[in-house]
Amino acid sequence: MMKRTYFTAIALAATLAGGQAIAADTSTGKTRDQVKAELVEAVRTGNIRAQDESGRMLNEVNPSQYPAQAVTEGKTRAQVVAELAEAVRTGNIVGNDKTGRMLNEINPSLYPAQPETQGNTRAEVRAELAEAIRTGNMPANDETGRMLNEVNPSQYDHIS
């Protein structure tokens, strides 16, 4: 089992290294050594996709084979109490009905008005969609969560 995982990691590393050398993206500004160091770190920590249909990382599939992830520091009690007080004040808490709506949605007159956010115009949305279609930056219709340009890279190689 270990040989298979090791072979998979090496094969993936070779594939990624070869693909990156051919389609080098100069806009990121990373050197070859930086990319190699990132790859070595990803293989060491298991932060590369497993060779299965789950789309999970190797450290999620086999957590005992990789070092533990660094735990991020949580919030203090005072921070949590302050956030709760703000949520109660603004009605940003789930109401008691079965819809899952917030209290400020159920009874908007009891809470301060929510600031209106400006969305994209129809033209901007269409332009973004056209760009996503052109570059293949759209989800493929499979269970892996990969983008079209990852599933079919040969169709999008000419696009930079």
pLDDT digit string (tens) for the chain, length 160 residues:
555 666 666 666 667 666 555 555 555 578 899 999 999 888 888 888 888 888 888 888 888 888 887 778 889 999 999 999 999 999 999 988 788 888 998 888 998 887 788 888 999 999 999 999 999 898 888 777 888 888 888 888 776 5
Task: Output the pLDDT for position 128.
Answer: 94
Task: Output the pLDDT for position 159.
Answer: 67
pTM of the full structure? 0.34
Return the closest-CA partner of residue 155 out of 144, 145, 140, 143. Answer: 140
Residue tagged 């709760």 (tokens) = 84
Cβ atoms of residues 157 and 149 within 8 Å = no
Q: What are the sequence ranges of the domains in the chain?
A: 2-65, 77-110, 122-155
Task: Output the pLDDT for position 2.
Answer: 55
Stated as kind and residue range, the H or E segment containing 126 is helix 122-135
- CA dihedral over 51, 57, 59, 63, signed as positive or negative: negative
